[in-house]
Structure 1
Amino acid sequence: MKWTLRTWEEQLVAGLDRLLGFPRERKRFYKAHGYPLNLKEPTSFNEKICWKKIYDRDPLVPVIADKYRVRDYVREVLGEAEANSILIPLLAVADKPEDLDISVLPDQFVVKSNHGSGNNLLVFDKSKFDFQAFIKEANTWLKAPYGIRNHEWAYSHIDRKIMVEQLLLEQSGSIPSDYKFCMIHGECAFIKVDKSRFNNFTSTLYDSSWNKLKVDWRRPQDDYSPAPQQLEKMLEIARALSKKLDFIRVDYYVLGDHFYLGELTNYPVRGRGKFNPTEFDFEMGRRWVLPGANGGE
């Protein structure tokens, strides 16, 4: 890849932070949670997320972080037919945005990079889509060394691409709710339901039996919502996809009686997602046994 000034700056900041014992990471963690980050003997859920992104070198982790290659992993685990029933239809993929043929795409779609978070664009009307402006933005995505500053190792081992997927919309035309299954050692520890992400964003936590938890995670809670019709099937698939991993978050979109796999997430909120009460952070941490020895301090 071509090394830009920003790339070198990112590498330098991350390298210095590592060399000095992660003072930058520790500062951000303390600001988020109000207690110090312990990488040598992590005990809370968020400490273990930080340990995982800094020290875990499981070769499966970058595969799962890659929004393109993870599709093959899902097919390998679930089988072709079941995987295809829940994977969001892939409309196009290219190494460069210039190589996309917009003329063959439907009127609505999603474009994203495969190697990071937040690098996406929802297109509701192709006739108003500025392709040249998109090319410039997408090339910025591809040049960005996502994850370096925050020590998210997995992202640096992904061959960067631009993907186009079908845009999922409810009958009202709104974006569907996001159901995030946090899996620890192959079992569901809790489920976070994100609603109205672009207007009055709420996050509500449930256990695997769909009991609402009195726990806030970064955003206000919504009122109680009924369990999705396919909850047991969603749990079954999440268990299968997380079987080889100590932790993973399995994200779904639900549309009526059907659900789609959004992505698999290794490092939720980079380990800075504050729980209230804080005890829930440590309760979830006690359920998670990290691979190998304790941290690398």
Structure 2
Amino acid sequence: MGGFLKQKLMSRKNKLLSKVWPTPFRFQKTPIKKSGSVPNILEPQEYRDLLLRTMAFPDNASRSIICDKIAFRGYVEEKLGDGYLPEALDVRDNFNDLALEKYPKPFVLKPNHASGRVHLIFTSADIAEIEEDTKHWMDLRHNKEVEWVYHDISPSYIVEEMLCDNNNLPLPDYKITCFFGKPVMIWKDTDRFGTHYQDIFTPQWEPIKAQLLYPGSPNKKPERPDSLERMLEIARILSEGFSFIRVDLYSDNQKVYVGELTSFTEAGNFVYTPREFDQHLYKLYLQHRADWISKQRKHYKNKAMQKLRKVDTPAY
């Protein structure tokens, strides 16, 4: 079945489900099939449960802003300044208005309003191969019936420079999960468009014995990048204001670039191996939430007490 037809059928299915199923249960079928258990979105026990809960019950409108890939660029520039994003070469509403043969290669083509779709263009031959699929992107609504963050995002095409190393290969990809502005876990993705290995580390670059979507590197584990501290600093800045978020970065070991901010990893359709690691992540989330609440409470109580001390005690 073609990708476009499959997407249309999925969209129709979700619209039908939206009429008969309460919102929290529309998107649980696939996670159940993959994990063999029903996600507990009312009383989360795992990190995956938390993602699905937030997909069902919106918590922060800013998530919708950062899902708009054009608005996201403005968000990053406001937070970090210039120089942290791949160069934007063009933005168009119509496929026929794209000058694909004229953009400097290699470049990346992706939709503004959907996730999980991207084409890497190295040569003119790549352009001919992707044209039919890409034309249909404007018809996509990326499961907006079940992912509220994609509501009302204007469809368009974005062309960006491809971030490559000296061998003209895409830069290494670092995905940093943050809870309440604090990095807690790093994925290092290697050879994403080939064999694809995924290694998981603590913020101190200590290996974590867990696996998510892809196997870990079979031989030597990836070395600690020279730019790690800067990446963690950027993750802290960009994740501020979100209870949880994933900050996706690229680095050539010197300079760091921001790829995107991801609210719902794989739309909650994942299972860690071992399963206990997902439970550990949720406990870690609860710990960071408690720390954040305590810190905020202390901050505002101190402000209130300072003001009270300025009030003269009445004489009796």
In the alignment, is residue 138 of structure 1 matched against residue 134 of structure 2? yes
User: In the alignment, which of 272, 276, 280 is matched to residue 275 of structure 1?
Assistant: 272
Which shifted more, 256-265 or 239-248? 256-265
Which shifted more, 260-269 or 49-58? 49-58
User: In the alignment, which of 182, 186, 191 is matched to residue 186 of structure 2?
Assistant: 191
Contact 2:63 2:149 in 1 (8 A): yes
2:262 aligned partner? 265
CA distance in 1, matches of 2:154, 2:64: 10
Structure 1 residues 129 and 138: alpha-carbon distance in aligned structure 2, compared to 1, 3 A threshold: closer
CA distance in 2, matches of 1:43, 1:278: 11
CA distance in 2, matches of 1:206, 1:61: 25
> Residue by residue, what CA displacement relative to the aligned partner does 1:106-137 show, whole Å, maximum 9, x if unpaired?
13211110121232211101376339x62x43
CA distance in 1, matches of 2:147, 2:119: 23
2:243 aligned partner? 246
Structure 1 residues 76 and 129: alpha-carbon distance in aligned structure 2, compared to 1, 3 A threshold: same
CA RMSD in angstroms comes to 2.4
The count of aligned residue pairs is: 280
Contact 1:7 1:145 in 2 (8 A): no
User: What SS does structure 2 have at the residue aligned with 1:189?
Assistant: strand
> Residue by residue, what CA displacement relative to the aligned partner does 1:43-65 show, whole Å, maximum 9, x if unpaired?
21000111111211522111111
Deviation at 1:202, TM superposition (A): 1.1
2:15 aligned partner? 12
Give the number of the structure with larger relative contact order, counting CA–CA contacts within 8 Å between residues 6 or more apart. Answer: 1
1:293 aligned partner? none
CA distance in 2, matches of 1:283, 1:15: 32
1:48 aligned partner? 50
Any stretches of 5+ residues in structure 1 without a counterpart?
A: 291-297
In the alignment, is residue 203 of structure 1 matched against residue 206 of structure 2? no
> Residue by residue, what CA displacement relative to the aligned partner does 1:81-114 show, whole Å, maximum 9, x if unpaired?
xxx2210111111111222233541132111101
User: What SS does structure 2 have at the residue aligned with 1:31?
Assistant: helix
2:221 aligned partner? 224
Deviation at 1:6, TM superposition (A): 5.1
Alignment of 1:1-297 (within 5 A): 9-16=12-19, 18-19=21-22, 22=25, 25-78=27-80, 80=81, 84-102=82-100, 104-126=102-124, 129-130=127-128, 134=131, 136-148=132-144, 151-222=146-217, 223-289=220-286
Any stretches of 5+ residues in structure 2 without a counterpart?
A: 1-6, 290-316
